[in-house]
Amino acid sequence: MNTATQLVSAEGDATTWLMDALASQGLTNGSRQVHFMQGTSLDCLATTNESTTEPDFMVETFKYPSISFLVLFQFAIGLVGIIGNSLVIAVFISSRSRSRNQTNLLIIHQALVDLLSSLLLVLYVGYAIIGSPKTDSQVLQAFACYVWTRATLFALFAVSTFNLTLISLERYVATMWPLKYAKLFARRNLISLVGLVWLLAPVCQYSIAFTTRTYIDGVCILTKSPVWVGGPLFVWEYLLPVVVMTFAFTKTIKKLRMLELKVSGTASSLGAALTSVNAISRVDQGTVSSSAQPTVHPLNSLPLEPDEVPSMVADTRRVAVVDPGFRQSQLHRPANRQSGPGRNVKRRNATRSLFTVYLVYIICWSPNQWAFFQLSLGGKLNFSGWFYQMSVVLAILNTCVNPFIYAFRHRRYKDKLLEMFRAVKD
């Protein structure tokens, strides 16, 4: 007699839509089948012979049509994510400053993770439309039981979140402690930090997959309800990163504003002082009073951009001495390094672009995360309601929105992108 095992899942975050993409799949082994279908807010197992028996934690299930507007919209988001994130990688890799700018390397990594997420999203939704191949392989069936149902895609979402958190900390250290930045975010350390992101971010996702189900003879068996993971998952993959990013970006932007005000006020005072010095020089026929003291150029006291920090370590102060030939116009004379205001504008623009990425992340993921968190505490969630549908679309949208942010907010990215398009056109 045929025994069908149904694994009904919508674990913890935006997972229920993913089960929709797997609804049409069947991995066969002899007379046994493992089906993954759209389901509930919990992992539930129903084993049927002639009738279906449901565990105590089983709740009413539902299922979208195999092809619906939502499924097609998800497919479109995945395609846009593939194209957009590929462009981001191409633009930043072709940037001349990539070897010096750690921020750009982290942005490239962010785009790479989102690109992989978009590829997997298209693959899942494609299976919902055309169906997936069947197999008798025990290895592939076990893979489908533990990993394919959800863990890999949501592990990538977690890696993306942790990498954005790392970017916020990189901006924080670069602004608050520019000299320490050279050591903390050296290339070798940066690679280690990125590796740590990949190691820590998916912990909850794979822990859930391997502790709540088991695979025996072609049957994927749910051994326990994963309702208990709702809280830890919410804290680890959403709340903790959001708290860290909020702190880091708030402090960074506040510091940059203070620097802007300081430079603006000091530059005005210096301009007035230089005017007086020039007047005295004209009266004294080009000689400056012997009482004039060397003046530290205030614009050179600004923290350097991260890619300039190593060259700054050996010479932590640069002094411009006022001499008889010094004029106010020399304030803007190009130097070997970019001037203080230029560095400040560059730092401010990059930080604001990344701050926008952070805000969009909050907007995209907050509705879904908070909805499932209250569900894990015993609340209710209507999976067929408009709020849940909106939260799903927003969460998926986060995989493709960053390239548009860079296009509007990141000047260097926009200029380089236009340059690439012109080259292709010509």
40-44, 129-133, 161-165, 334-338: range with lowest mean pLDDT: 40-44
| Predicted pLDDT at 380 | 86
Q: Give 66-95 pLDDT, tens digit per residue.
A: 457 788 888 999 999 999 999 999 998 887
User: Do 224 and 148 share a domain, yes or no?
Assistant: yes
Q: Are 81 and 400 in contact (CB under 8 A)?
A: yes
| Predicted pLDDT at 342 | 55
Q: Predicted confidence band at 57 (pLDDT cuts at 50, 70, 90)? A: very low
Torsion angle of the four alpha carbons 249, 253, 255, 260, in this order, in degrees rounded to the nearest 10: 160
Q: Which domain holds residue 289?
A: 256-341
**275: number of Cβ within 10 Å:** 12
Tell me: pLDDT of 408 over 50: yes
**243: number of Cβ within 10 Å:** 12
- State the residue for tokens 């992340």: 361
d(CA 127, CA 117) in angstroms, rounded, equals 15
Please give the full DSSP string across 361-422, using - where no structure is assigned. HHHHHHHHHHHHHHHHTT----TTSHHHHHHHHHHHHTTTSHHHHHHHH-HHHHHHHHHHHH
| Predicted pLDDT at 253 | 92
Q: In the listed set 325, 341, 357, which residue is the last one of a domain according to the structure?
A: 341
Q: Are 56 and 41 in contact (CB under 8 A)?
A: no
- CA distances to 111, 287, 316 from 300, rounded to whole Å, are 34, 26, 10
Q: Predicted confidence band at 226 (pLDDT cuts at 50, 70, 90)? A: low
| Predicted pLDDT at 31 | 29
Q: In the listed set 341, 373, 393, which residue is the last one of a domain according to the structure?
A: 341
Range 329-338, long-range pairs (CB < 8 A, 24+ positions): 331/267, 331/270, 331/271, 331/274, 331/299, 337/304, 337/308, 337/311, 338/305, 338/308
Q: Give 310-321 pLDDT, tens digit per residue.
A: 444 444 444 444
Maximum separation of any 2 CA atoms in the chain, in Å: 111
**Angle (nearest 5°) at CA 377 between 375 and 378:** 70
User: Do 315 and 219 share a domain, yes or no?
Assistant: no
What mean pLDDT comes out for the span 370-394? 87
Task: Tell me the whole-structure pTM to 2 decimals.
Answer: 0.70
Q: What is the CATH number of the domain that holds 401?
A: 1.20.1070.10
User: Do 203 and 319 share a domain, yes or no?
Assistant: no
What mean pLDDT comes out for the span 354-362? 96
Please give the full DSSP string across 15-51, using - where no structure is assigned. -HHHHHHTTT-EEEETTEEEEEEE--SS-EEEEESSS
Q: Strand, coil or helix: what is 318?
A: coil
Q: In the listed set 301, 321, 341, which residue is the last one of a domain according to the structure?
A: 341
Q: Are 384 and 392 in contact (CB under 8 A)?
A: no
| Predicted pLDDT at 362 | 97
User: Do 388 and 295 share a domain, yes or no?
Assistant: no
| Predicted pLDDT at 157 | 95
User: Do 152 and 185 share a domain, yes or no?
Assistant: yes
| Predicted pLDDT at 194 | 97
**334: number of Cβ within 10 Å:** 8
User: Do 271 and 395 share a domain, yes or no?
Assistant: no
User: Do 226 and 285 share a domain, yes or no?
Assistant: no
| Predicted pLDDT at 129 | 76
Q: Strand, coil or helix: what is 252?
A: helix
Q: Predicted confidence band at 275 (pLDDT cuts at 50, 70, 90)? A: low
User: Do 361 and 412 share a domain, yes or no?
Assistant: yes
User: Do 119 and 194 share a domain, yes or no?
Assistant: yes
13-22, 315-324, 344-353: range with lowest mean pLDDT: 13-22
Q: Predicted confidence band at 309 (pLDDT cuts at 50, 70, 90)? A: very low
Better-predicted residue by pLDDT, 75 or 6:
75
79-93, 339-353, 396-410: range with lowest mean pLDDT: 339-353
| Predicted pLDDT at 149 | 66
Q: Are 136 and 104 in contact (CB under 8 A)?
A: no
Total domains present in the chain? 2
**192: number of Cβ within 10 Å:** 11
d(CA 30, CA 7) in angstroms, rounded, equals 18
User: Do 358 and 415 share a domain, yes or no?
Assistant: yes
User: Do 222 and 282 share a domain, yes or no?
Assistant: no
- Using alpha carbons only, how large is the chain's radius of gyration in Å? 28
Tell me: pLDDT of 3 over 50: no
Q: Give 182-224 pLDDT, tens digit per residue.
A: 999 999 999 999 999 999 999 988 888 888 788 887 788 877 7
User: Do 392 and 288 share a domain, yes or no?
Assistant: no
DSSP state of 212: S
Better-predicted residue by pLDDT, 230 or 273:
230
